[in-house]
Amino acid sequence: MSVGDYIRNSQIWKSVFRHPAPTDRRNRVVVMLTNFFLHLHPVSIKQQGIALSYTWCMGGITFFLFLVETITGVLLMFYYRPTLEWAFYDIQALRDVQTLGIMREIHRWGAHAMVITVWLHMYRVFLTGSYKPPREFNWVIGVLLLVLTLLLSFTGYLLPWDQLAIWAITVGSNMAKATPGLGTEGPGFQLFNTSGYELITNASDAKFLLLGGRFVGEATLNRFYILHCVAIPLVVSGLIAIHFWRVRKDGGISQPL
Amino acid sequence: MLNPHPDLTPSVLVGLGWFYLVIFLMNLLWTIRSFKVDGEYRSGMPRASVWAVYTSILMMLSFYHFTYPVEGFMFSMPLAFKDFFDAYFSNPVLYFFLTIVGLWAMIQFREWWTRPTVAWVLLNCSLIFMTLSLTDYDFRQIVGKPDNVPIVAMLFIVAFFTWIYFSRAVDNDRRIAEGRPLFEQEDNEKVLVWPDLVYTELICMVVLTAVLVFWGIALQAPLEEPASSMKTPNPSKAPWYFLGLQEMLVYFDPWLAGVVLPSIILGGLIAVPYIDFNKAGNGYYSFKERSFAITTFLFGFMPLWVALIVLGTFLRGPNWNFFGIYEYWDVHKVEAANNVNLSEFFWNGLGLGIPKGSGVGDILLRESPGIILTIVYFAALPPVLGLTVLRKYFVRMGVLRFLVFSNLILWMAILPIKMLLRWAFALKYIVGIPEFFFNI
């Protein structure tokens, strides 16, 4: 008996993988049904539905990049401190000194790549008409995931706390104070400020809510850090689960009807 | 004109040598491929020999870059061309116009440019153009910024996938016209996910990981000076994927460009499956069956999103002025801007003079032409369109669906409309009520 066979016949191996190696048809079916990670897939699938020139693989790549971002992001969180005193110098040290500093590079390039792959995934889904019934609602979830991807990238942009970061966020968040009704430089906020009581001021408007202050400062850094590392990823994870679940429930990978 | 910059250093030349080496290797594969006729290699094909000559020149170019000294270097973008390009092609009007013409040509000549040889020639042209342009100092300053590299890559990637789309759509359109089954319906047996899909995914993940690690080693993520609220950079730019929105600030106030229009874009995307009543083209590539939907989407994605990001990233310099791709980003460049509100046009045109006074009534009177125009545009135009040009859509969609649809189309059109009005008449605001931050 070879070593490989010995391992595959051990109680430990069998307790993890509840079936023989997927070398014959029966076990190739069984593996899809009994493995937690694989059970997202169907057992069998139309050949053209998984052709790369048809799907472009962009949804899958986006999900993979999300996982890469999670892993590299967690590693970065061990090192990085989101305070005015340390934020910039921690990133600088990641670049210049730290052994695994490349995690920051991978994290940033992965984020850019993820924005692009989300667009391309959406592009493909539109061009193949895959948003049409019965997949309408999954398209809606996809649009929400697009927004959240952009927000993830936007909140992460601030964290290095260099000139590029704060001014990009300043330009971006200046839009918030023009929100109609809710910003002090947008139309209609005066409607809330009648009879001498000012509801919408520069210490209570949409920009203040976003930044946690009148300008990009320590409170903003903290706020964006929590949004970037905890709040948005949680929501995204939930929506991804629904998105995948609905791909299966809404008729599987799209194909000519 | 003397070039003020030390144009080419040895390290730049070596970098360009690598560029040419990559283009050479691509074309080497292509040449080998073009020797193949009906699945067999035959020698002496005239077309293949042309490619072979071109490929050899690329190889020599690459080695020339690796070995030749900087003095008397021969292969750079000619100064005359750069001056010509900056003088005649560096304005937003022509840029936007060309993107629209490009979209039109892309759709109109889709059967021509999706042919592999044509597409390959176009790819080569763009790569050679970019590599030659990289010999320019100012071009390198902007395109070579670490955060801008992904955008250059994105352009080629989007072009590649657009090519895939159009070639498959052209193929399927032909099949539909001839009554043959779709490409997606041929050889479409069910296969087991293990191994057919699982292995594709695994290979994809391995390749992507390798790409990311290589990218991370080759290109350092940007880190500028520590943040300082005292030193405002000029230009101050949002993250690159929002630069299309920032570009809209040229034409609209922040409440429209930064809040309302993005919300409408997202609302419009969400509404897409509910207003597209066309049942054809579900689950396969096609153009003719859904030409309106595809054209509208491409219009929104290409000229109004990707092209505006490119404009905002590469062509907008200090004070958000427009700069040619070979132009130095001069902080002191002045662009005359004497924009006039519609109300001034109207009242001065009538010879009445602008109504004065700061009461709400006075303001409404002053801005009444613009207000009426806006109300007509959003409230009266949809029913008119529904009863005339878009009658077909109105009948099939019903009232509510049609109103949503036509309003989304009108919202999409306001950016090009405002651009044209600005360029043609220097129009600032259609409705200008700065007293209430209500400017359109």
Number of domains in chain A: 2
Does residue A256 belong to any structural domain of this protein?
no
Q: What is the pLDDT of residue B99?
A: 94
Higher pLDDT: A195 or B59? It is B59
Do A136 and A215 have their domain in common? yes
Picking from A136, A163, A255, the nearest residue to B224 by CB comes out as A163
The answer to whether B218 contacts chain A (CB < 8 Å) is no
Does residue A255 belong to any structural domain of this protein?
no
Rounded Cα–Cα distance for residues B158 and B272 (Å): 21
Do A179 and A143 have their domain in common? yes
The answer to whether B212 contacts chain A (CB < 8 Å) is yes
The answer to whether A244 contacts chain B (CB < 8 Å) is no
Do A16 and A129 have their domain in common? no
Do A201 and A245 have their domain in common? yes
DSSP letter string, B395-435: HHH-HHHHHHHHHHHHHHHHHHHHHHHHHHH-B--SSEEGG
Contacts of A124 in chain B (CB under 8 A): 161, 165
Domain holding A49: CATH number? 1.20.810.10
Mean pLDDT across chain A: 91
Q: What is the pLDDT of residue B73?
A: 66
Task: Tell me which long-range contacts B298-304 makes (C-beta under 8 A, separation of at least 24).
Answer: B298/B103, B298/B106, B298/B107, B299/B103, B299/B412, B300/B265, B300/B412, B301/A123, B302/B99, B302/B102, B302/B103, B302/B106, B303/B96, B303/B99, B303/B100, B303/B102, B303/B103, B304/B244, B304/B412, B304/B415, B304/B416
Does residue A194 belong to any structural domain of this protein?
yes
Does residue A244 belong to any structural domain of this protein?
yes
Whose structure tokens read 């993107």?
B99
Do A12 and A102 have their domain in common? no
Residue A182 has pLDDT above 50, yes or no: yes
Rounded Cα–Cα distance for residues B304 and B298 (Å): 9
The strand pairing partners of B438, in sequence order, are B433
Q: What is the pLDDT of residues A217-233, one digit of tens each?
A: 999 999 999 999 999 99
The answer to whether A257 contacts chain B (CB < 8 Å) is yes
B175, two tokens: 């099949």
The answer to whether A191 contacts chain B (CB < 8 Å) is no
Those residues whose C-beta lies under 8 Å from the C-beta of residue A26, and which sit 6 or more positions away, are: none
Does residue A254 belong to any structural domain of this protein?
no
pLDDT band for position A61 (cuts 50, 70, 90): very high
Share of chain A above pLDDT 70, in %: 100
Would you call B76 exposed, middle or buried from its count of C-beta atoms within 10 A (0-12, 13-18, 19+)?
A: middle
The strand pairing partners of B427, in sequence order, are B340
Do A23 and A89 have their domain in common? no
Domain span including residue A2: 1-44
Higher pLDDT: B378 or A202? It is B378
B270·A45 Cβ contact <8 A: no
Does residue A37 belong to any structural domain of this protein?
yes
- Which of A104, A109, A138 to mutate against chain B (most B CBs within 10 Å)? A109
Do A104 and A60 have their domain in common? yes
Do A56 and A31 have their domain in common? no
Contacts of A102 in chain B (CB under 8 A): 213, 216-217
Does residue A202 belong to any structural domain of this protein?
yes
ipTM over 0.90: yes
Q: What is the pLDDT of residue B419?
A: 93
Q: How many CB atoms lie within 10 A of CB B195?
A: 13
Kindly list the distances between the CA atom of residue B28 and the CA atoms of B57, B238, B304, in Å, as whole numbers in the listed order.
11, 41, 37
Contacts of A148 in chain B (CB under 8 A): none
**pTM, two decimal places:** 0.93
Do A128 and A162 have their domain in common? yes
Q: What is the pLDDT of residue B68?
A: 67
Task: Tell me which long-range contacts B175-181 makes (C-beta under 8 A, separation of at least 24).
Answer: B176/B286, B176/B288, B176/B289, B177/B288
Do A141 and A32 have their domain in common? no
Chain B nearest-CA residue for A112:
B150
**Contact present, A205 and A194 (Cβ < 8 Å):** no
Distance from CA of B342 to the nearest CA of A (A): 19
Share of chain A above pLDDT 90, in %: 62
Contacts of B253 in chain A (CB under 8 A): 178
Distance from CA of B391 to the nearest CA of A (A): 23
Chain A nearest-CA residue for B182:
A256
**Contact present, B360 and B435 (Cβ < 8 Å):** no
Any idea what the Cα angle at residue B12 is, between residues B11 and B14, rounded to 5°?
A: 65
User: Which residues in chain B show pLDDT less than 70?
Assistant: 1-7, 38-45, 68-74
Would you call A9 exposed, middle or buried from its count of C-beta atoms within 10 A (0-12, 13-18, 19+)?
A: exposed
Higher pLDDT: B358 or A169? It is A169
Does residue A123 belong to any structural domain of this protein?
yes
Those residues whose C-beta lies under 8 Å from the C-beta of residue B214, and which sit 6 or more positions away, are: none
Q: What is the pLDDT of residue B44?
A: 56
A–B: how many Cβ contacts below 8 A?
Answer: 264
Do A25 and A93 have their domain in common? no
- Which of B107, B180, B194, B261 to mutate against chain A (most A CBs within 10 Å)? B194
Kindly list the distances between the CA atom of residue A129 and the CA atoms of B40, B131, B280, in Å, as whole numbers in the listed order.
38, 37, 8
Picking from B154, B242, B283, the nearest residue to A128 by CB comes out as B283
Q: What is the pLDDT of residues A88-139, one digit of tens each?
A: 999 999 999 888 889 999 999 999 999 999 999 999 999 999 999 999 999 9
Do A56 and A151 have their domain in common? yes
Name which of B270, B401, B300 is nearest A131 in CA terms.
B270
